[in-house]
Amino acid sequence: MSSLELPSHGRYDYSPITERKDYSWPGGKRLAFCLTTNIAVHAFGKGRGHDNAKHGEPQTNRNYSWRDYGNRIGIWRLFDLADELAIPLAHNTNSMLYGEAPQIFERIRKRGDEIIAHGRTNAENFNDLRWEADEAHIIREVTETFTRNEGWPPKGWLSGGSYEHSWTPDLLKEAGYLYFSDWPCDDQPMWLRTRAGPILSVPYPVELNDSPQIIHRQHTAREFCDMLVDQFEEMVEQSARHPLVCNVSIHPHTFGYPFRLRPLRKALQHCFASKHMDRVWKCRPGDIADYCLTLKPGIIPGS
So what's the pLDDT on residue 128?
86
Residue, of 45 and 137, whose pLDDT is higher: 137
For position 257, what pLDDT does the model report?
96
User: Predicted confidence band at 1 (pLDDT cuts at 50, 70, 90)?
Assistant: low
Q: What is the per-residue pLDDT for 212?
A: 87
pLDDT at 52 over 80: no
Plot region of 4 (φ>0 → left; ψ -120 to 50 → alpha; else → beta): beta
Q: How sure is the predictor about 178, in pLDDT bands with cuts at 50, 70 and 90?
A: very high
Average pLDDT, the chain: 95
* pLDDT confidence tier of residue 81, bands split at 50, 70 and 90: very high
pLDDT at residue 120 is higher than 80: yes
Residue 62 has a pLDDT of 86
Q: Count of CB atoms within 10 A of residue 274's CB?
A: 16
How far apart, in whole angstroms, are the C-alpha atoms of residue 244 and residue 239?
Answer: 6
Instruction: Show the domains of the chain with their CATH numbers.
Output: 22-294 (3.20.20.370)
Residue 161 pLDDT: 85
| Residue partners of 3: CB distance under 8 A and separation at least 6 | none
Whole-number Å distance between alpha carbons of 228 and 6 = 35
At residue 252, the pLDDT reads 97
Rounded to 5°, angle at Cα 156 from 202 and 228: 45
